């Protein structure tokens, strides 16, 4: 039977390290017919894991009547995640939050005699144990640790989350309540590691303590490593946006470069992350709850939250910046998972801030190095996060251990990453790249940077100067048996790496790895095995499907529904 363990660096499956680059998709907020499309979009975005909350209220609308069919077919959703080659994290709860009415708890619990929710209360725990048992019956055999054949695709579940944001300060009650839920999970047959997202308010023996938040994430990762040195550093909730409420202006949107920067802080601190959400979907009917922090505010039907993938399946502005770094993290997962993060050096904090007395700490750049047995690197942060909005090229020099210096340029990003001493396969070793690496496949390495900026890539000890193109066409250069593809930041968002090829200038690739492009735009295909490039031209057979024709339709008024 497969085994899952962990240490202070990463999780391990049968002794092999893997790195979590995750985003949340709320299956209960997306019609089942669209699940495969949304999951494929997550894969295109560079994610290797999908986290999903399990809304108890959807699966037990009436006491004892469980529903796991149609839009509630959780098993089918998890199977689709596996078929896409991704892993899955289940946020079991029983309270999962996420703006759902009562945090996902079924309202019929309130009718139980002497019930108290989310605490060591017999009526509540009895109902929770029955739900957990019913849930386990659906997905128990889809765990990575389940016996039998199936491989990664057939058994994608790698983690289970117990409760959500449980911040009660009573240690005894925490042991009784959270500990009891943990026992239910194990007795029901869940054998993968259990994580929590309580921000260290409460910890239960045997669980991985994870973090939630957006600010000072590099510092938070280092603190997690100090408090729990034997556990991997994990941000279970890295919010991509905030909840909108009825009758008020939409909440401020998180700029894409700022979301990317926060992801960079997590990675620089040796942490893994889960974007909440990657795709939020819709609060159907009256499933949206009251805002947890505003007493008279009720959450809107749209759960878009300005997430990378919007409510209707289109991309939001933060998709591109998020995808660049997520793709790097997934494609260089082996390097990140083997990073030696136990002893972190003293560095300048990545964010400039007021220090009192009218002084301001810093400006300039901050650098966080990552070293390990499978390669090294450095994350370069502009200490003014909003400088990226100007698009002006800002350059700094890195001084390497051998005394050589490397120029690193930032443009529309406030974080850049430099890769060092990475074995890419065969006889090719990437000594360094001052350009941001997107990924590599076969003999092809894809890098990007600010348009017009100079870059240097060294392979097998031989450096080569490469200027970032200012237009859409990529720079394709063979060097030391490796084909280097260089694009600018905007074109990087239209560059996709598949098992067979790299496509530049397309909108996406389909599940078969074929390009989907905008009509009238040129594109390039670079073969992953040979490095041969081919101009695809403006007319390609693979294109977006023709929208369906809508027949007669009618509007259903809500008056009778709302009136009961």
Tokens coding 190: 């869940």
Q: Band the pLDDT of 547: cuts 50, 70, 90.
A: confident
pLDDT score of 361 more than 80: no
pLDDT digits (tens, 9 = 90+) for 529-539: 999 999 987 65
How far, in Å, are 15, 54, 96, 130, 440 from residue 59 at the CA level?
35, 9, 14, 12, 42
Q: What is the mean pLDDT of residues 39-52?
A: 98
| Pairing of the two strands 508-509 and 515-516 | antiparallel
Q: What is the pLDDT of residue 32?
A: 98
Please tell me the distance from the alpha carbon of residue 90 to that of residue 526, in angstroms, as a whole number.
37
DSSP one-letter string for 65-125: B---SGGG-HHHHHHHHHHTT-EEEEEEES---TTBGGGG--GGGGGSTT--TTSS-HHHH
Structure confidence at residue 519 (pLDDT) = 65
Enter the tokens of residue 336.
């990140």
Average pLDDT of the segment spanning 212-226: 96
pLDDT at 267 over 80: yes
Band of the pLDDT at 345, cuts 50, 70, 90? confident
pLDDT over threshold 70, residue 551: yes
Kindly state the average pLDDT of the residues 424-445.
96
Task: Report pLDDT for 558.
Answer: 76
Is pLDDT at 542 greater than 60 in this prediction? no
Collapsing DSSP to helix, strand or coil, 85 comes out as coil
Q: What value does the mean pLDDT take over residues 301-308?
A: 95
SS3 content of the chain, % helix, strand, coil (to 5): 25, 30, 45
- CA torsion, points 464, 468, 473, 478, in degrees to nearest 10? 10
Percent of the chain with pLDDT over 90: 83
pLDDT value of position 354: 57
At 172 the pLDDT is 92
User: What does the domain layout of the chain look like in residue ranges?
Assistant: 4-336, 345-535
Encode 312-366 in three state secondary structure: CCCECCCHHHHHHHHHHHHHCHHHHHCECCCCCCCCCCCCCEEEECCEEECCCEE
Cβ neighbours of residue 111 closer than 8 Å, sequence gap 6 or more: none
pLDDT in the model for residue 44: 98
Residue 386: pLDDT over 70: yes
For the stretch 306-333, pLDDT in tens is 999 999 999 999 999 999 999 999 999 9
The pLDDT value given to residue 152: 64
Q: Given this model, what pLDDT does residue 159 score?
A: 99
Q: Which pLDDT value is given to residue 460?
A: 98
> Tell me, what's the pLDDT at 486?
99
pLDDT of residue 343: 81
| Residue whose structure tokens are 């957006």 | 214
Closest-CA residue to 13 (of 144, 151, 205) = 144
CA–CA dist 441, 289 (Å, integer): 45
Whole-number pLDDT of residue 477: 98
Give the three-state DSSP class for 3.
coil
Residue 356 has pLDDT above 90, yes or no: no
As given in the structure block, the two tokens for residue 476 are 């394709």
Using the predicted structure, report yes or no on whether residue 357 has a pLDDT greater than 70: no
Range list of H helices, 195-318: 217-227, 256-268
pLDDT attached to residue 319? 98
pLDDT of residue 560 exceeding 90, the answer is no
Cβ proximity of 496 and 509 under 8 Å: yes
Q: Are 288 and 101 in contact (CB under 8 A)?
A: yes
pLDDT range class, residue 22, cuts 50, 70, 90: very high
Which residue has 């007795």 as its token pair? 187
Which residue shows structure tokens 């929208």? 547
Nearest to 100 by CA among 160, 56, 159: 56
DSSP-based three-state secondary structure for 165: coil
pLDDT band at 545 (very low <50, low <70, confident <90, very high): low
Predicted confidence (pLDDT) at residue 469 exceeds the cutoff of 80 = yes
Q: For residue 418, how far is the Cα from the chain centroid? A: 21
Rounded CA-CA distance 374/394 in Å is 30
Q: 146-199: per-residue pLDDT in tens?
A: 998 666 678 999 999 999 999 998 899 999 999 999 999 999 999 999 999 999
Question: Smallest Cα–Cα separation from 415: which of 368, 374, 379?
Answer: 379
Q: Which two tokens stand for residue 169?
A: 């300060």
To the question of domain 4-336 being in CATH 1.10.3720.10, the answer is no
- Sign for the CA dihedral angle at 340, 342, 343, 346 comes to positive
Q: In this predicted structure, what is the pLDDT of residue 423?
A: 95
Find, among 455, 416, 438, 423, the residue nearest to 502 by Cα: 438
Average pLDDT value for residue range 53-61 = 98
- pLDDT for the residue numbered 26: 98
CATH classification (class only), 345-535: mainly beta
Give CA–CA dist 332/436, Å, rounded.
12
Q: Which of 87-91, 245-249, 494-498 has the lowest average pLDDT?
A: 245-249
- pLDDT per residue over 225-262, tens digit each? 999 999 999 999 999 999 999 998 888 899 999 999 99
Tell me what pLDDT residue 360 has: 56
**Structure tokens given for 422:** 């990475």
Choice between 276 and 360, residue whose per-residue pLDDT is larger:
276
Rg (CA), the chain: 24
Interatomic CA distance for residues 330 and 314, integer angstroms = 22
């Amino acid at each position: 039977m497969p085994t899952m363990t962990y240490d202070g660096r990463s999780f391990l499956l049968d002794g092999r390290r893997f790195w979590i680059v995750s985003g949340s998709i709320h299956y209960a907020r997306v019609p089942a017919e669209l699940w495969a499309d949304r999951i494929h979009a997550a894969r295109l975005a560079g994610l290797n894991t999908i986290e999903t909350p399990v809304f108890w209220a959807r699966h037990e609308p009436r006491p004892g009547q469980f529903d796991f069919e149609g839009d509630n077919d959780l098993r089918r959703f998890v199977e689709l995640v596996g078929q896409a080659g991704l892993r899955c994290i289940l946020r079991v709860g029983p309270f999962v939050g996420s703006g759902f009415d009562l945090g996902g708890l079924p309202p019929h619990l309130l009718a139980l005699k002497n019930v108290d929710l989310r605490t060591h209360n017999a009526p509540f725990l009895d109902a929770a144990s029955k739900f957990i048992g019913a849930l386990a019956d659906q997905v128990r055999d889809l765990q990575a640790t389940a016996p039998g054949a199936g491989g990664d695709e057939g058994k994608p579940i790698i983690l289970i989350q117990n409760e959500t944001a449980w911040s009660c300060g009573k240690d005894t009650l925490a042991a009784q309540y959270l500990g009891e839920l943990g026992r239910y999970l194990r007795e029901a047959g869940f054998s993968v590691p259990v994580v929590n997202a309580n921000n260290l308010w409460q910890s239960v023996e045997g669980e991985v303590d994870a973090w939630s938040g957006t600010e000072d994430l590099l510092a938070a990762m280092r603190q997690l490593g100090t408090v729990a040195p034997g556990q991997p550093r994990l941000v279970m909730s890295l919010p991509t946006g905030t909840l909108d409420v009825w009758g008020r202006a939409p909440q401020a949107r998180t700029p894409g470069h700022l979301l990317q920067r926060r992801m960079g802080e997590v990675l620089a601190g040796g942490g893994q992350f889960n974007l909440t959400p990657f795709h939020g979907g819709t609060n159907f009917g009256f499933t949206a709850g009251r805002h947890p922090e505003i007493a008279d505010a009720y959450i809107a039907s749209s759960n878009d939250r300005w997430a990378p993938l919007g409510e209707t399946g289109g991309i939001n502005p933060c998709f591109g910046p998020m995808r660049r770094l997520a793709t790097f993290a997934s494609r260089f997962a082996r390097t990140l998972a083997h990073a030696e993060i136990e002893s972190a050096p003293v560095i300048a904090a990545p964010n400039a801030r007021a220090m009192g007395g009218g002084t301001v700490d810093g400006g300039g750049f901050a650098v966080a190095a990552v070293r390990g047995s499978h390669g090294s690197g450095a994350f370069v942060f502009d200490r003014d996060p909003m400088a990226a909005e100007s698009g002006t090229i800002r350059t700094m020099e890195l001084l390497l251990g051998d005394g050589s210096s490397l120029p690193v340029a930032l443009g529309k990003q406030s974080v850049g990453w430099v890769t060092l001493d990475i074995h890419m396969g065969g006889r090719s070793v990437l000594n360094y790249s001052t350009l941001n690496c997107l990924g590599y496949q076969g003999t092809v390495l894809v890098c990007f940077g600010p348009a017009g900026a100079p870059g240097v890539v060294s392979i097998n000890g031989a450096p080569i100067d490469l200027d970032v193109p200012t237009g859409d066409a990529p720079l394709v250069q063979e060097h030391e048996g490796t084909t280097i593809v260089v694009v600018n930041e905007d074109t990087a968002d239209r560059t996709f790496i598949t098992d067979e090829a790299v496509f530049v200038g397309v909108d996406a690739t389909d599940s078969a790895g074929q390009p989907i492009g905008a009509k009238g735009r040129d594109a390039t295909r670079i073969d992953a095995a040979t490095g041969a490039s081919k101009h695809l031209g403006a007319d390609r057979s693979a294109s977006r499907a023709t929208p369906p024709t809508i027949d007669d339709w009618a509007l259903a008024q809500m008056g009778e529904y709302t009136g009961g």
